[in-house]
Amino acid sequence: MKQSHNAGAREFGLRLWRALRQPLIAVLFGLLVGALVILACGQNPAAVYLEMFDKSFFKPYYLFSTLTRATPIIICSMATSMAWRAGYINIGVEGQMVTGTLVATVVALYVPGPPVLIGLLAWIAGMAAGALYALLPAVLTWKFQVSMVITTLMLNYVANNIASYFVTYPLKDTSGDGLSFHTPEIHEVMRLPRLSSSSTFNAGFLLAVAVMLLMVFITRKTVFGYESKMGGFNPSFARYGGTKQVKVMMITMALSGAIASLAGSAEVFGLKYRYSDGMLSSTSYAWTGLMAALIADLDPIGMFFVSIFLSGLQIGGSAIQRSLGIPLEIATIIQCCITLFVSVKLVFKIRKKKASKEEVKEGGVKA
């Protein structure tokens, strides 16, 4: 029994190391580059980093702020991973998040009924809207061979502009000064409970944890997770093995859009209590989630911790700008260098994969 327990602990440790190995190396690289930039600004990197992490992770108030900001980033990274690991480059998580969140807010505000029931219905409607919006580029790819990268990217602008119109005109809250473009507030009963009396930290973070655990289960314990992974790794092998690629694409994209909608809904129902124009695009939640997914090599556990780290960089970057006069862009530089390091590794991996395929083809021709 003891040997079995030790073996299980070792296996868990190995899995955790595999999930965090690449992010840790990438973070170290980014921090080293950031240290050089800080030196160029005439500051002590050790003192700057100590101040940055003190006001993002070490003090409870700032830690709660970091976790609050990390919530939509975590969920967006999971939405990105759901599609990317299957080989479908979904750049439209932001548009799917905006669409789902706007629909969820409209249902919460204007559908009559008991607030608890309507709140639940709003979340479901938002997920359905996000899924349908993600299915649009999937159908275009299937029927007309349109590039999914282009369609998902362009649909971000469509979603943002449509949402901007509705918030600016028909859904605008007219009870205020008229200068702000946002909807009225949702009912108090529909709001997610706060987990801290001294900050905005709320149950949305628990939702992010639940999404991460769901992703771990899907990717490691289900047939669909295996089929989607094989489709992304080797589409020809997946087709030969009997995998229905169109079905996998549709389900994968729908799940990606549904998960994306949860990120925005957590922001509205847990923090803002209303939908404001540009609230999900100006914060770059989707793009930071994409960075987290790439840095963690699409591993759910890795993405969870990387998302929190990137959120801490943003919170700590704002703090050192106020206290030390260090430009906020330092945090952005570190974040981009981490992503650059991973991107270079990704390019080498793709080139190695292509080279191995060419060798297989040449071997087949010689045979």
Task: Look at residue 163 in the predicted model and tell me its pLDDT.
Answer: 98
CATH topology of domain 22-353: ABC transporter involved in vitamin B12 uptake, BtuC (1.10.3470)
Report the C-alpha gap between 245 and 310 in whole angstroms. Answer: 34
Task: Look at residue 258 in the predicted model and tell me its pLDDT.
Answer: 98
Report the C-alpha gap between 138 and 144 in whole angstroms. Answer: 10
Task: Look at residue 179 in the predicted model and tell me its pLDDT.
Answer: 75
Could you tell me the CA-to-CA distances from 216 to 3, 19, 222, 298 in Å, in that order?
Answer: 26, 11, 10, 11
User: Following CA atoms 79, 82, 88, 92 in sequence, which dihedral angle do they give, to the nearest 10 degrees?
Assistant: -10
Question: Which residues of the chain are under the pLDDT cut of 70?
Answer: 1-9, 19, 231-243, 345-367
Which residues on neighbouring strands pair with residue 276, listed in sequence order? 182
- Reduced to 3 states (helix: H, G, I; strand: E, B; else coil), residue 64 is helix
Task: Give the start-to-end residue ranges of the domains of the chain.
Answer: 22-353
pTM of the shown model: 0.90
* pLDDT mean across residues, the chain: 88
For 248-303, the pLDDT digits (tens) are 899 999 999 999 999 999 999 999 999 999 999 999 999 999 999 988 889 999 99
DSSP sequence for 293-362: HHHTTT-HHHHHHHHHHHHHHHHHHHHHHHHT---THHHHHHHHHHHHHHHHHHHHHHHHHHHHHHHHHH
For 205-243, the pLDDT digits (tens) are 999 999 999 999 999 889 888 878 776 555 654 555 556
Task: Look at residue 227 in the predicted model and tell me its pLDDT.
Answer: 77
